[in-house]
Structures are given as structure tokens and as C-alpha cells.
Amino acid sequence: MVSDDREDPGTERGHRHVRADAQRNMDALLEAALAVFTSSGVDAPVREIAEKAGVGIGTLYRHFPQRADLIAAVCRREIDACANAAVSLAAAHKPSEALARWMQRYAGFITTKRGLAPALHSGNPAFEGLRDYFEQRLQPALRNLLDAAAVAGEVRGDIDPDDLLRAVGSLGMRSGDDGPEHTQRMVALLVDGLRYGAGPGLPKTP
């Protein structure tokens, strides 16, 4: 049934010709799924997504044989976007500002994907590799921002990126209690904490 090299379902191109309509529908599905997940949570009906994307149910299931596959794909896509944002932000702002903005962006990613974290921890094998992807992709991105800001003397240099990621992650999950702007405030506080230990006249470059 399925041909040989369909290992990479992402926007990878190069080996085999992908039919144009297939690629188009896949993109439409991912975009629709993102919108629906964001507004209705990851438990939203698949039919709603297919309809929003303007494709049939069969098409959706052709590209994402299981509901979890669609969730994972959307998630990967968002992780990539988040990691890429680090580069853009670093280019457009001074280090500490880029760091602050990225932290808020990451927090937004977490809070808007509510229901996703429980799904990740559900033991579903479709999500197996996703947690690693999380760290492998996001941790370097944040580390770069942190290092740059530390070198510029704008934040302290003794912070572990993973700690920050986890902290924001935890804050984001709890936001069901207090609303999304609570998370925003707490993240802002975290960033201020990073800035605290680093005076402008205190270069700590070894």
C-alpha cells in the first residue's frame, strides 16, 4: 500500500515527487489543525479540522493515519517555528530583549496548546519522540539567546536553559487556574530575575 520511503511526513522534498495537491492539502490540514487546536483544544473533532481545511475525512487520514499523528505534526511544526523565532528575534533586538520576547513566545506556545502536555505524557507511542524533539530543538535556541545576553552583560550567566524551559512549561500548565496573562506575568518576572544579577558595568566574560 504505502510506498517505500514515506518515512518523513514533514515538508521534506527531494526523494520522490510529491503530488502538488497532496502537498497543498497537507499544508491546509496542518494550518486548520493548528487553528482548531488553539481555539478548541487538542480533543476537537477531526471532522471539524477536515472541513476547515476544505478536504475530506479520507484525505486527512491519508496524511495522518492516527489522530495523534496530526497532533504530533502540528506540534513539531510549532516547535520549529518557536526555535526559528529565536534567530529572528536575536537579529532584530538587543540580546536581553530578544531573550525576553522569546520567553514570552515560548510561554504562549505552551499555554495555547493546552491539553497537549497531558497528551504527551499519555504514553501514546506516537508522542514518543516528541519530547526529545522538544529539548533538542528548543534548548539550543534558548541557550544561544542566554549566552548572547550573558556575554553582553545583560543577564546573569549561570542559568541552565533546561531549567528555564521546564519552569516556563510548569507555569504554563498551571495557567488553567489563573488565566494566560498570569503565566505572562510570571515569565516576565523570571526574565527580570535573569537581568537582576548582571550590572552593565560588570562584564563577566572569562
Partner DNA sequence: GTTTTATACGGAACAATGTTCCGTTTAACA
Partner DNA sequence: TGTTAAACGGAACATTGTTCCGTATAAAAC
Residues engaged in binding DNA (CB under 7 A): 3, 16-22, 24-25, 43-47, 54-59, 61-63, 65-67
- Least Å distance, CB 192 to a second copy, is 23
Beta carbon nearer to DNA, 20 or 202? 20
Helices 161-173 and 128-151: angle between axes, nearest 10 degrees? 120
Report the partner that residue 18 touches, choosing among DNA, a second copy, none (CB closer than 5 to 8 A by kind): DNA
Considering only 45, 176, 197, 199, the residue that binds a second copy (CB under 8 A) is 176
- Least Å distance, CB 28 to DNA, is 9
Considering only 125, 163, 177, 200, the residue that binds a second copy (CB under 8 A) is 177
Beta carbon nearer to DNA, 61 or 134? 61
Sign of CA dihedral 40, 42, 188, 175: positive
- Least Å distance, CB 201 to DNA, is 56
Beta carbon nearer to a second copy, 115 or 157? 115
- CA–chain centroid gap for 17, Å, is 29
Residue closest to 168 by CA, chosen among 145, 202, 200: 145
Q: Residue 5 contacts by C-beta under 8 Å, 6 or more apart in sequence?
A: 15, 16
Report the partner that residue 176 touches, choosing among a second copy, DNA, none (CB closer than 5 to 8 A by kind): a second copy
